[in-house]
Chain A
């Protein structure tokens, strides 16, 4: 379609309802836009149309009473066509297609990780509901074939929709997967001239697989799907800020005898579709969020490495801030917009000219990590640098050496600042969530919560604000940075009043 021609709107009918579609749209696209559900396995809104599963069969009524059946995913809408999605013949065709698709399926839902969110399972109950009519034995194929270090393929469960193959060809563009052999012997296999390990978006094929054929080797059989629930979150892996769902065990199903850590574990991470940020995809770093977030935590306030009460630590930090002539604050680029605003309204406002606040990078790219690509991954590995820079200037180019020698207090919020790089004479107040050796050498250390324990917003590199919610409860002495700044402010004001 050329750009200058106005978009043609076609009118047609779905189950007797008049609806409109843009010229060039297929029946399944137009139907979904108007809230009609057309079953589909191989069709995916973001991928090309192979038309191999045949489950989206629809009926088109014709004037001479001789209806026409075709797959809705590959049939362009024409003006005035009368589409039936649920006629008796269509229902029968779907039922037969389901019989055919499940011909060699092992039906091992009892032990399948996909069970509970499997399209094949849903469609079986919706469109088939009958046992297999076949009297032949099922074909056996390879179980648990390793496609890469991350992905395992169960060929018996595979229905050859080729969504994963098209994903590597069209989205991640690694061309790492292909289909070999024909008929009921066909298999998904890694391509010989590519390596699926190099695909940094490979885990998306687990989500788009309509059955339980592609499995994460990391999270296999962690938990049945219905024991877990998703919490809306944002990936802190880079400044793209992909919208994700963090899956964790439901409170109602919390373990009582087994390890209580299983109740507060990130079971898996899936993308949360947001067309403005990440579409329906995320990279593998988001899937491995547990490796970043579930590092050993710092849970005790400390004064010079000695564990103290939270009130004592806050009083000591407030005394340092109140008595300082020149304070340098290194602001976290992992803080939420709310926390950054709280910092600006409390500590920054109270200290006024005595404070120099700079936004630092909490995380640098780790060796071997993809720095940047033209799909999702961005070079800055901090989720809210954009939001922080809206309030505070960035750390000067010379880095930590820019901290003036006469600064008597340095407030370090977040990770990425080694104690050795800070001026020797300055007292360090450190706010961090994870255990580091540097926490013990700080004059005052206060533990703060991590992203999965609090709610907030991040602003990504393009200025799009995404929200995240809390999944878990923080440890008793771990404080939200937002609350902590308020406590520090009131203590600091108290110290100044007493000395005045």
Chain B
């Protein structure tokens, strides 16, 4: 029994008329379109008007990123300027691209913040800018800023952003996202006080 080979039929199979099947006129039409765009752009460029939007990176940098673009990580700081990060590695653990590497340090003399990052590095050649690190951080220590790091290199191993580059952001100067004030512990009434107050207010004598 001979096997019959048949082209698979697709639902969006192109239907061409005779003119399109003739091939050459359509090719010429395509060339005409491209040439037209090229000449129009060149005409604008020669006369000094805005033509094709080509940015000559890295000499030029685009000024027109979307206002909600978040292209750079920043490490927030405590009011004394030390890094807010506690090196808990939640960001590194949640990161889907596994680009965050933290070397922790330990300081027993600071019982409130015994753990801190000695090195904090992000591989921008693999970062997917998903913002999960920001979401996972329990200390609001990592945020993403409307900025783009200027990492120009022909080697992906040079595209690690180090801690000093991520600590350039001063929270005090940022009016859009102010640094949260130092939390003060709310003075809560003790349980037995609350119970007693309820007893008095309700006019019901306590059972105890």
Contact = CB atoms under 8 A, between A and B. Distances in A.
Contacts of A255: 101
Contacts of B101: 255-258
Given A143-B108, A221-B87, A257-B123, 14 more contacts: A110-B86, A111-B87, A111-B88, A111-B115, A136-B190, A143-B111, A144-B114, A220-B106, A221-B115, A224-B93, A227-B89, A257-B119, A258-B119, A259-B103
A295 interface: no
Pick from B104, B189, B190 the residue with the most CB of A within 10 Å.
Answer: B104
Contact of A137 (B90, B139, B185): B185
Interface string B177-196: 00000000100111100000
Contact of A152 (B108, B119, B189, B191): B108
A257 B189 CA distance: 51
A259 B101 CA distance: 11
A135 interface: yes
Nearest to A140: B111
Interface string B111-127: 10011000101010000
A136 B160 CA distance: 46
Contact of A256 (B88, B123, B188, B189): B123
A325 B138 CA distance: 73
Top 6 closest pairs, chain A to chain B, by CB: A110-B88, A143-B111, A144-B108, A111-B115, A257-B121, A221-B106
Interface residues of A, number: 22
17 contacts: A110-B88, A111-B115, A136-B190, A144-B111, A221-B87, A221-B105, A222-B104, A224-B89, A227-B89, A256-B123, A257-B101, A257-B119, A258-B101, A258-B119, A258-B121, A259-B103, A262-B103
A155 to B, nearest CB: 11
B61 interface: no
Interface in B82-103: 86-90, 93, 98, 101, 103
Contacts of A226: 93
A120 to B, nearest CB: 17
Nearest to A136: B190
A221 B121 CA distance: 18
A255 B138 CA distance: 23
A125 interface: no
Given A144-B111, A258-B103, A135 B191 contact: yes
Pick from A111, A143, A259 the residue with the most CB of B within 10 Å.
Answer: A111
Contacts of B189: 135
Contacts of A258: 101, 103, 119, 121
A68 interface: no
A181 interface: no
Contacts of A220: 106
Contacts of B114: 111, 143-144
A256 B89 CA distance: 16
A1 B160 CA distance: 68
Contacts of B90: 110
A144 B109 CA distance: 9
Nearest to B99: A256
Contacts of B98: 252-253
Nearest to B115: A111
Interface string A321-359: 000000000000000000000000000000000000000
B162 to A, nearest CB: 9
A62 to B, nearest CB: 31
Nearest to B86: A111
A104 B106 CA distance: 23
Contacts of B105: 221
Interface string B133-168: 000001100000000000000000000100000000
Contacts of A143: 108, 111, 114
Nearest to B161: A257
Interface in A143-180: 143-144, 152
Contacts of A262: 103
Contacts of A144: 108, 111, 114
